[in-house]
Amino acid sequence: MKKFLGMIMLIAILAMAVVTHGAPKKVEISFLVTKPEIVTQFRKTFDAYSATHPNVTISTIPLSGQTIYEKLTSLYASGNAPTITMVGGPEFTAFKDKFLDVTNTKFGKAAYDWSVRRTTMNGKIYAVPTTAEGIGIMYNKTVIEAATGKKFDPASIKSRKDLRELLQKIAKTKYAPVQLSNMDWLLGSHMTSILYAAMSKDYDERQKILLQCAKGKFDFMRNDTFNGWMDTFDLLMTYNMHKGAPLGNTYEDDQLAMAKDKVAFWVIGNYVYPNIVGMNPDAKVGMMPYPISDNQADYGNSQITLTHSFFAIDGAQSSKSEQAAAIDFFNWLLTSAKGQKHYIDTLIFTPVYKGFSIQPSNPVAKEIVSYMKKGKTLERMSDYFPAGITVKFGAAMQRYMDGVGTRKDVADSFKKDWLEMSSK
């Protein structure tokens, strides 16, 4: 009888414990993955997290052809905001009031101070960096060395003149010297970041230039950096393997051409590296600067653009349990040994966080870390652009690529776009 009463009491105590602390509940959270090229890698990472956190399911929301700004605008307007999203600087500015304060989270405290300056307001952090990324020109070492018969050192390309001479040599072989992608986000955001960053070494001076642009007072056609940036673009268009139909190639076409050792150079970021090695594990690719002049000493000729987008958690429409699950996911991803392994090996990210026990081993990430250590990086200026303007910049560059616009048309379009989008 005593044993029976004891069991009854134990059951009662366990029942009380469940009532007091609450049984684990199933939670489904959503993640707006704004880098279509690594959706698969994100899904693998989510699956790994859910394997040890079975009550949490993470679903992915694709961009489906929209820009980040357009997608977030429609999702928030319909009351279906993603629990987690990846944003750039303009989108952060546009939606910052909707994001959750993550200042006191374990992962928020692990981010380097410099990496969250852009997303800190009144001493509180509203988004953390995704990964250190480099934007410049991707090179294929296998192609270049096969075409020239010599070992290739990216540091040997110190100016546009050096690049021109190498493109001329490769053009005489069976290999394509260069490919230009036509996506508006690449042309209008990533490439224009190089342009505005190379205009001055000085942060305050760059901000003054952007202010002049916003007031419609910046004269692009009289600016040496703009003309140097366009001269290099002209050079790349001359040797572009798609120049017969420059708007006809897809992002997937270009990834395959680089992975299959068909082309030597490609203006892009290292975010595409996982796809390249996914198609060809033996691919020997790396990143180098986009030269903007024939003078080796000019600022911008020896720097790559360092960038990172941000992870943000919705603080406006998600429930407390969804927000708690999102915080737990990032604590796992960024501060646990298992999570960090997936961050490095599955997502192939380069950490911008303190206390990482694992460091990237892939050669492109190592190159970016090397540029960071040498201080040879350009600031990502698109973080300061008004939301929506990069699409317009991209459209102007697409028209130029397609031969239906002149350099002056690009300059006039940039000037008009700045004035229009800054007034919204």
Residues 66 and 208 in one domain: no
> How many independent structural domains does the chain possess?
2
Residues 147 and 275 in one domain: yes
In a domain, residue 347? The reply is yes
| Global confidence as pTM | 0.77
Give the range among 117-126, 137-146, 175-184, 227-236 with minimum mean pLDDT. Answer: 117-126
pLDDT at 10: 44
CA dist., res. 158 & res. 247, Å (int): 29
Task: Note down the domain range covering 247.
Answer: 134-305+378-423
Q: What is the mean pLDDT of residues 213-235?
A: 97
- 299: enclosing H helix or E strand: none
Residues 261 and 294 in one domain: yes
Residues 76 and 102 in one domain: yes
CA dist., res. 423 & res. 418, Å (int): 8
Q: What is the mean pLDDT of residues 140-158?
A: 97
In a domain, residue 388? The reply is yes
Give the range among 106-120, 152-166, 307-321, 387-401 with minimum mean pLDDT. Answer: 106-120
Q: Which two tokens stand for residue 82?
A: 């993603």
Residues 391 and 337 in one domain: no
Longest dimension (CA), the chain: 97
CA dist., res. 337 & res. 327, Å (int): 16
- Higher pLDDT: 410 or 365? It is 410
- How far out from the chain centre does Cα 340 lie? 19
Helix, strand, coil content of the chain in percent (nearest 5): 55, 15, 35
- Higher pLDDT: 6 or 191? It is 191
Residues 143 and 154 in one domain: yes
pLDDT digits (tens, 9 = 90+) for 49-61: 999 999 999 999 9
- pLDDT interval class at 115 (50, 70, 90): confident
- Higher pLDDT: 133 or 98? It is 98
In a domain, residue 3? The reply is no
| 20 has a pLDDT exceeding 70 | no
Find, among 219, 228, 235, the residue nearest to 414 by Cα: 219
In a domain, residue 49? The reply is yes
In a domain, residue 257? The reply is yes
Find, among 192, 226, 133, 134, the residue nearest to 395 by Cα: 192
In a domain, residue 84? The reply is yes
- pLDDT interval class at 369 (50, 70, 90): confident
Residues 125 and 193 in one domain: no
Residues 217 and 172 in one domain: yes
Q: Any idea what the CATH number is for the domain that residue 129 is in? A: 3.40.190.10
- How far out from the chain centre does Cα 141 lie? 23
Alpha helix positions (H), 157-287: 160-171, 184-185, 191-197, 203-214, 224-238, 251-259, 273-279
Give first-to-last CA distance, the chain, whole Å: 78
Find tokens 């090179």 and name the residue.
139
